[in-house]
Structure formats: structure tokens, C-alpha cells
Structure 1
């Protein structure tokens, strides 16, 4: 893993890896869990979603791939409408580059990372537990999608650790959300 990039080759993927691909000119990343056999389980806006009530609703497009699973012979449309779907790696990447989210990184590397949403200090559970959680959520859902409070990164981190952040604050749980929201505050000399 580098300071600026967690880019990986497909051949290095292992079942249980938390992967992501940048979208919309690197404004945000879409996250999922690689389960093997070229398959990814990920949380999208496919199901019922809750808007943020901010300008982000207009800036961010759906985290669902632009390629419809209906147009891919390897993917099938989801049977339920709760946002957790399984797709092939190509549909997940949607033409983007493959990156692996890193767990149990050193505090120095964590602080030095330029962008949130690429690594965590937390440790991952074993791959079989990660895959079990992802499959369970594929069948049972992960709640309402909300880009700031319950998104694909939160889903993947929950699958990897079993931990979910529950706060009473109105904004920001995932690393990439926090980094996006802190930028304007930092320019104003405030902290989030």
C-alpha cells in the first residue's frame, strides 16, 4: 500500500477483501466486498434511499454502476429492492480502477494519507466471517442508503469488522464523507 494509492491488480484479490473504485472524477469512491469468483457484494442506492438534504444530493450521482446488471450476462437483477446487490467485478468497477481498502494500518500512515476512505486503524475479521456478513446483508439489507450516514463504505467496514458507527450527529460517518465535509470547515479554520 502506498501513501497515495491502494491500487491493486485483480490477480491479488482474495475473498473477503474490501475493494473500491473512484467515481465522478475522484469526488467519491464506491466500496464493496469481494467474495471470490469475480463477484462483489455492495450497497447501492438501488433501494429506498434517504437524501442528505444538502447540495451533495445534486453533486453526487448514484453509487450504482452505470452499466445495468440487465445488460451484463454475468449479473442478474436483484430480487429485492433494499440496495445490497451482488455483481461481477467489471460491473462493480464500472470502467474504473481497482483499489483495496487497508485495515490495521499504522497510526503514522493513517494520519499521512491524503484522502479519507482508503484505510483504517481497525483490524479486519477473518475472511469467512466477512463473506458471511456480506451474504447475510445481501439477503436482509443494510437499511436505507444515505450518502452521509449509511453508505457503501459503512457497509463494507461493517462486513469487515462487525462494527457500525451510530451517532446522534447529523452528518458524516464514513472516512470519505468526513474528508469531503471537513475540507470547507478547514478552509474556514474550523474543525469537524
Structure 2
């Protein structure tokens, strides 16, 4: 593993690893949990199962179902092209021709900032593999709620399996580093009063990149304060009311305070 790439070979994988593969010319990545024997549990977006931004971004920020079709089904998985939600696929179907990367946990702050692209690592520490696998298999049977580009996507699923952490405020993005990066990039310069301190291109670039890095750090699941450890059984039980998971945890916090 290095600063520039998290690429990994298949024979290096261990059950409980959080893996991902870049899609759409590196615009977005699809994430999942490797569970051993060449299988991956992941959360996919499908018709009637998702919500999004209502813009063209919805065509970009998509974690697609495996690409095998009825005409050429995978000999192990069959045709999964029309499926959605939490599913198990072989690693070939999960990658859909892309390269394999390992998401890193417990990285240092300099390394986190040095990884300019979000959705590749986090400051948060992973739970033991047995806990990760238990959450992944439980959610495979019970679901992970409604897919949402910014609050409940495939990376959020994988990070929850690895950490058990949920966001309990309903006004912020979820745990997804790549969603936070898109938002940080969009607002880095325009939302900062520091942009008025310089008019040069290099100055604006430095200010923008600085704000981008700060935004990424403060939104990381490992440092933000609006998160709480929630058991997978509690998550599934409360999510049965069709509330978004952040609302579920907010409801839990209010009940506790009362």
C-alpha cells in the first residue's frame, strides 16, 4: 500500500477486508466487504431502491449491480444485473472488469491528507474481522435500508460493517469519504471568506486545496462527533419503519435523553 495507490492483489485479501473498484473513469468507486472464498458482500443501487440528488450526478455517483446479464450470466452468481440492495457476488462480478483496491483504516493524519482523493482511507479504526463479517452477513439477510448517494451508499455500508458507527444527525452526509470529497471540492473556494485574501490563480488554488483538506478531515468518520456505535440488530430492528438510518439513530438518541 502506498500514498498514490491502494491497489492490491487477490491473493493478499483476507476475510473482513473492505475493498473497492473505480467505476466510470475513476469518477466513483464501488465498495464491498470481502468475506472469503472469492465472495464479496456489497450494497447496490437499483430501480425503486434508491434516492439521489435529482441531478445528472445521479448517473455518475452510482454503485452498479454486477454487469453479467441474462445473455452471459456468471457461472457462479447467475444474472445479478437487475438486483439491488445488499447482495453477495463473486469477486469477478463485483469488480466488473475493474482493478482491486483495499480501503485503509486507522491511517495517520498526514497520510489521510496526502491521499487527496476521498473514499480510499479513514482515520477510524476497524473492528476485528469476526465483527465485520457478522455485520455483513446479517445485513445480507436483513438489508441496509434505502440507497442514498450522499447518506447511505455502498461505501457507507462497508464502513458500517468495519466500524459499527452510524451518523445520528439528519442534516449531514453519511460516512462516505467519496461523497464528502465531492461536497468539499464544490464548496472549497466559493464558501470560504479566505478567497478574498488573494486574486492570483496560485493563491486561490492554495486556499481551495486547504479548505478541501480541512473539509475532508472534519467529515471523516474517525473524528466527527455526530456518530455512535450501533449494533447491527438494533439498526435492522429500527430501520424496519422505513426511516433513513440517520433518522433512526436520532430517534434513539432522543429516546435515551427522555
TM-score, length basis structure 1: 0.90
Q: For residues 23-77 of structure 1, give each alpha carbon's deviation from its aligned partner in whole angstroms, at most 9, with x where no partner exists.
A: 0000010000000000000000136111222331243445222224871011146
Q: For residues 95-141 of structure 1, give each alpha carbon's deviation from its aligned partner in whole angstroms, at most 9, with x where no partner exists.
A: 00000000111111111111111011111111111111000000000
Distance in 2 (alpha carbons) for counterparts of 1:124 and 1:173? 14
Moved more, 59-68 or 31-40: 59-68
Q: Which residue of 2 aligns with 1:97?
A: 99
Name stretches of at least 5 consecutive residues in structure 1 with no aligned partner: none
Match runs of 1:4-43 below 5 Å = 4-43=4-43
Q: Secondary structure at the match of 1:71?
A: coil
Q: Against the structure 1 CA distance between its residues 8 and 64, is the aligned structure 2 distance closer, same or farther, given a 3 Å change threshold?
A: same
Please state which structure has a larger fraction of its residues in helix: 2
Q: Against the structure 1 CA distance between its residues 154 and 172, is the aligned structure 2 distance closer, same or farther, given a 3 Å change threshold?
A: closer
Q: Is the 8 A contact 1:20 1:100 kept in 2?
A: yes
Q: Which residue of 2 aligns with 1:64?
A: 65
Distance in 1 (alpha carbons) for counterparts of 2:107 and 2:155? 17
Q: For residues 139-191 of structure 1, give each alpha carbon's deviation from its aligned partner in whole angstroms, at most 9, with x where no partner exists.
A: 00000001111000000000001112233225454100011122121242536
Larger RCO: 1 or 2 (CA < 8 Å, sep 6+): 1
State the number of aligned residues.
190
Q: Secondary structure at the match of 1:108?
A: helix
Q: Is the 8 A contact 1:20 1:31 kept in 2?
A: yes
Name stretches of at least 5 consecutive residues in structure 2 with no aligned partner: 193-210, 216-258
Match runs of 1:81-160 below 5 Å = 83-160=85-162
